[in-house]
Amino acid sequence: MGSPPSFLVLSLFVLSFCLTGNADQITSDARGIMINGERKIFISGSIHYPRSTPEMWPDLIQKSKDGGLNTIETYVFWDLHEPQRRQYDFTGNRDLVRFIKAIQAQGLYAVLRIGPYVCAEWTYGGFPVWLHNQPGIQLRTNNTVYMSEMQTFTTMIVDMMKKEQLFASQGGPIIISQIENEYGTVMGAYHDAGVQYLNWCAQMAAALDTGVPWIMCKQDNAPQPMINTCNGYYCDQFTPNNPNSPKMWTENWTGWFKNWGGSDPHRTAEDIAFSVARFYQLGGTFQNYYMYHGGTNFGRTAGGPYITTSYDYDAPLNEYGNKNQPKWGHLRDLHLLLLSMEKALTYGEVKNVDYGTQTSATIYCYQGKSSCFFGNSNADRDVTINYGGVNYTIPAWSVSILPDCSNEVYNTAKVNSQYSTFVKKGSEAENEPNSLQWTWRGETIQYITPGRFTASELLDQKTVVEDTSDYLYYMTSVDISNDDPIWGKDLTLSVNTSGHILHAFVNGEHIGYQYALLGQFEFQFRRSITLQLGKNDITLLSATVGLTNVGPYFDMVNQGIHGPVQIIASNGSADIIKDLSNNQWKIFLGRARYNQWKSDNLPVNRSFVWYKTTFDAPPGEDPVVVDLMGLGKGEAWVNGNNLGRYWPSYIAGGEGCSPDCDYRGPYNAEKCNTNCGNPSQRWYHVPRSFLASTDNRLVLFEEFGGNPSSVTFQTDCWERLCQCSAISGIKFASFGDPQGTCGKPFATGSQVFEKGTCEAADALSIIQKLCVGKYSCSIDVSEQILGPAGCTADTKRLAVEAIC
């Protein structure tokens, strides 16, 4: 990669050379990506620039680099950059050039996934919604209106990178670009037009002449010269469609995203390390963590529907940028080892030995030296193999790495890195929540606002709103005379919607709301109502919670009230139905008329209330969060910065969490979850750059009703075991078959481990003698040292919980 520009030069010739950096030639073959003809190992991680702030970028990149990454991958978010057609925005956390330069500044490579469809749990998959309203357009298919917009945007991004000399071919850090995203998973639904579009994408991208390779992920039929790559939890079995393409893994999911109503996904460090080691064992040379830092869906950028504001992802760096241990450390140990074996992995001669029973050895020989991987993909069986006359036990679902084929330096199931749990610390700046003084104001909607649209049908919400708000009003009226057959009967208002949340008002009175349950985004709202003789106003307020971002024709999914909208009068066995669906509807964004801010009679559990308070920033450097426990659902701003949607009243379902988590066996996003029965998201990130030291303003728009009086500002600090003065006690030690997972308390109480069916009687006292009072201690885990455990199984484990 090119060195950073230097201005300390004397001759013009050198000056121009330095300004453009050292152009690197990026090529590839079946064994990997080459830089100036030399194959390298790439260990990459996704960080999406708008999910953090420019002030956070250097630290996130530094921690990635310290974690053994040499590459950072990001998508490009079209909707942010072109919110209105031909009106561009690259300011603040949309400053893509600044982000790429921040990567370059630390000497890392970059992968630019332009898309510009990106999926990414981002609203509308990253497409600006105005696209949808272009006459004659069809998205992601062979449609000239769409292709012209896509080409215009893609070209603009490429030109912007070229102008800043950011492609490696110009001396910059970008070594690879991506066009489209997992189109192979939906292409069939677009039939021949899909194939034509795919080919057009490839040609269009190639013609942009970036001087670096293009990739297409999950695209088995990617046309040359596109390189098809793998996404998933495991990609060791992947082979690209061209024998001359390298085996590349663009998304190794480090956990999973979270939904409103969902619990916290958790993928263990052991399982991720296993997947990575296996990938490099079996010939992969480029691997990217999706996500390495997930971050925050600020504003209304979360897609879905129902993706939470937190996009933590259980990534190696947590939402706020702190290290998620032991994941970060366990993977760093692996990365450093793999990088130390770079030459053997990329140039070595490869020999595979199959030991049967899902156990294999791969030996890389380079310049007379051998490096070994021993892999065991049994989900529940440790296996002992004999290599070179020596027995090696490989725990189930693990890979051992022996850089000299004799000493095991790393095993993916043996975590030596520190564990830590995070704690939220109260702010030392003030005594919250008592010190927070709240003011509030109600919101009255001006029903007389001229309708942006008057229609005799119910219009799709995104088409009208074009992503400028979550909310849309649909308003009509019904005239009732005393000879109307429904007059005097019990009446029910029934509304069918796909708009996620529906509020109904009859003659100005809020009669209730209902929200879609996670995964059931079509629902029917029913409430009994009373009408008066003469004119009755029926006002429906629909709210979306992120636009659909994935699937064939996802862009066409109806969002909003589609009807029927009916008034149903009970009339014995046969109901009388007054259908309002084809009434004249005024459809408008709603203009609120605000009342004055008041400080008395703070309302609780009232819908459509604004709350405001001022606060001092918690001292120190640790990331700041606001605890919104007690609130219902809404949006929050600090000093005018939109923190995102909040919804702490939505409790995560009780299923999917297990007190114990076995890293062994294939992972899926329902395995090893935590936080069942608690709010899906209670804490909301307030980046330090949003804050002044005093007099910061927090504004909440409360849609459902809640109580702000327990809101507090806190910091996210990790209890670092390494900050122990010394080990003061051993809370638990058992050698045998203890149950539990390090760093993860059982559902009830704070206990991490418990004794299994067998154990060595003196293990606890032996460990106590060895460790108490010391800064660190190590022990050979064997029956010779710890005594007989009396277990029937071959394998025994030692679990220790130490107290600082």
Kind and range of the H or E run holding 270? helix 269-281
Q: Which residues contact 120 (CB under 8 A, 6 or more apart)?
A: 48, 75, 77, 126, 303, 549
**Comparison of 120 and 208: residue with beta carbon closer to ligand GAL:** 120
Q: If DSSP codes are grouped into helix, strand and coil, which group holds residue 340?
A: helix
Question: Shortest CA distance to 698 belongs to which of 631, 610, 629?
Answer: 610
Q: Which two tokens stand for residue 11?
A: 């001759």
Spell out, one character per residue from 185 to 224, where the chain touches ligand GAL: x when CB under 6 A holds, - when not. Answer: ----------------------------------------
Query: 494-533: which residues touch ligand GAL (CB under 6 A)?
Result: none
The answer to whether 466 is a known catalytic residue is no
Length of the chain: 804
- Which of 15-23, 113-121, 329-337, 531-539 is the region at the interface with ligand GAL (rule: CB under 6 A)? 113-121
Q: Which of 117, 130, 153, 257 binds ligand GAL (CB under 6 A)?
A: 257
- Which of 48-56, 112-120, 421-429, 461-469 is the region at the interface with ligand GAL (rule: CB under 6 A)? 112-120
Give least dist CB 554 to ligand GAL, A: 11
Neighbours of 335 (CB within 10 A): 19
Give least dist CB 372 to ligand GAL, A: 33
Give least dist CB 198 to ligand GAL, A: 16
Give least dist CB 150 to ligand GAL, A: 17
In whole angstroms, what is the distance from residue 229 CA to residue 73 CA? 14
**Comparison of 458 and 672: residue with beta carbon closer to ligand GAL:** 672
Query: 779-798: which residues touch ligand GAL (CB under 6 A)?
Result: none
- For the chain, how far is it from start to end, CA to CA, in angstroms? 45
In 595-724, which ranges are E strands?
A: 609-615, 624-627, 634-638, 641-646, 683-686, 696-702, 712-718
In whole angstroms, what is the distance from residue 728 CA to residue 720 CA? 15
Q: Which is the catalytic residue, given 121, 182, 635, 801?
A: 182
Give least dist CB 494 to ligand GAL, A: 35
Kind and range of the H or E run holding 337? helix 327-340
DSSP label of 362: E
Give least dist CB 53 to ligand GAL, A: 21
**Comparison of 128 and 329: residue with beta carbon closer to ligand GAL:** 128
Q: Is 119 in the site for ligand GAL (CB under 6 A)?
A: yes
**Comparison of 342 and 670: residue with beta carbon closer to ligand GAL:** 670
In whole angstroms, what is the distance from residue 111 CA to residue 71 CA? 7
Q: Mind giving me the DSSP string for 156-218?
A: HHHHHHHHTT-BGGGTSSEEEEEESSSGGGTGGGGHHHHHHHHHHHHHHHHHT--SS-EEEET
**Comparison of 264 and 635: residue with beta carbon closer to ligand GAL:** 264
Q: If DSSP codes are grouped into helix, strand and coil, which group holds residue 99?
A: helix
Q: What are phi and psi of 689, to 5 degrees?
A: -70, -10
**Comparison of 231 and 377: residue with beta carbon closer to ligand GAL:** 231
Q: Which of 24, 73, 121, 149 binds ligand GAL (CB under 6 A)?
A: 121
- Which of 55-63, 119-127, 448-456, 524-532 is the region at the interface with ligand GAL (rule: CB under 6 A)? 119-127
Query: 50-109: which residues touch ligand GAL (CB under 6 A)?
Result: none
**Comparison of 314 and 627: residue with beta carbon closer to ligand GAL:** 314
HSE-CB at 497 with a 13 A cutoff on CA atoms is 28
Give least dist CB 118 to ligand GAL, A: 6
Give least dist CB 620 to ligand GAL, A: 32
Under 8 Å between Cβ of 430 and 712: no
Q: Which is the catalytic residue, given 149, 251, 635, 702?
A: 251
**Comparison of 219 and 377: residue with beta carbon closer to ligand GAL:** 219
In whole angstroms, what is the distance from residue 570 CA to residue 233 CA? 54
Under 8 Å between Cβ of 81 and 88: yes
**Comparison of 118 and 727: residue with beta carbon closer to ligand GAL:** 118
Give least dist CB 246 to ligand GAL, A: 19
**Comparison of 181 and 287: residue with beta carbon closer to ligand GAL:** 181
Give least dist CB 315 to ligand GAL, A: 11
Query: 233-252: which residues touch ligand GAL (CB under 6 A)?
Result: 251
In whole angstroms, what is the distance from residue 471 CA to residue 443 CA? 14
In whole angstroms, what is the distance from residue 323 CA to residue 60 CA? 10
Rg (C-alpha) for the chain, rounded Å, is: 29
In whole angstroms, what is the distance from residue 324 CA to residue 428 CA? 24
Q: If DSSP codes are grouped into helix, strand and coil, which group holds residue 103?
A: helix
Spell out, one character per residue from 169 to 188, where the chain touches ligand GAL: x when CB under 6 A holds, - when not. Answer: ------------xx------
The answer to whether 251 is a known catalytic residue is yes
Give least dist CB 312 to ligand GAL, A: 12
Q: Indicate the pairing of strand 248-253 with strand 227-232.
A: parallel
**Comparison of 125 and 246: residue with beta carbon closer to ligand GAL:** 125
In whole angstroms, what is the distance from residue 352 CA to residue 372 CA? 10
Query: 665-724: which residues touch ligand GAL (CB under 6 A)?
Result: none
Q: Which residues contact 343 (CB under 8 A, 6 or more apart)?
A: 366, 367
Q: Is 231 in the site for ligand GAL (CB under 6 A)?
A: yes
Q: Is 301 in the site for ligand GAL (CB under 6 A)?
A: no
Size of the site for ligand GAL (CB under 6 A): 9
**Number of residue whose CB is nearest ligand GAL:** 119
In whole angstroms, what is the distance from residue 801 CA to residue 804 CA? 10
Give least dist CB 658 to ligand GAL, A: 22
- Which of 114-122, 168-176, 435-443, 739-747 is the region at the interface with ligand GAL (rule: CB under 6 A)? 114-122
Question: Shortest CA distance to 795 belongs to which of 667, 658, 659, 664?
Answer: 664
Question: Shortest CA distance to 503 belongs to which of 495, 620, 460?
Answer: 495
Give least dist CB 737 to ligand GAL, A: 35
- Which of 118-126, 376-384, 504-512, 661-669 is the region at the interface with ligand GAL (rule: CB under 6 A)? 118-126
- For residue 292, the Cα-to-chain-centroid distance in whole angstroms is 9
- Which of 117-125, 327-335, 374-382, 484-492 is the region at the interface with ligand GAL (rule: CB under 6 A)? 117-125
**Comparison of 154 and 231: residue with beta carbon closer to ligand GAL:** 231
Q: Which residues contact 520 (CB under 8 A, 6 or more apart)?
A: none
In whole angstroms, what is the distance from residue 471 CA to residue 545 CA? 9
Q: Mind giving me the DSSP string for 484-538?
A: STTTTS-EEEEEEE-SSEEEEEETTEEEEEEEPBTTB--EEEEEEE---SEEEEE
**Comparison of 119 and 150: residue with beta carbon closer to ligand GAL:** 119
Active site amino acids = 182, 251
Interaction site with ligand GAL (CB under 6 A): 118-121, 181-182, 231, 251, 257
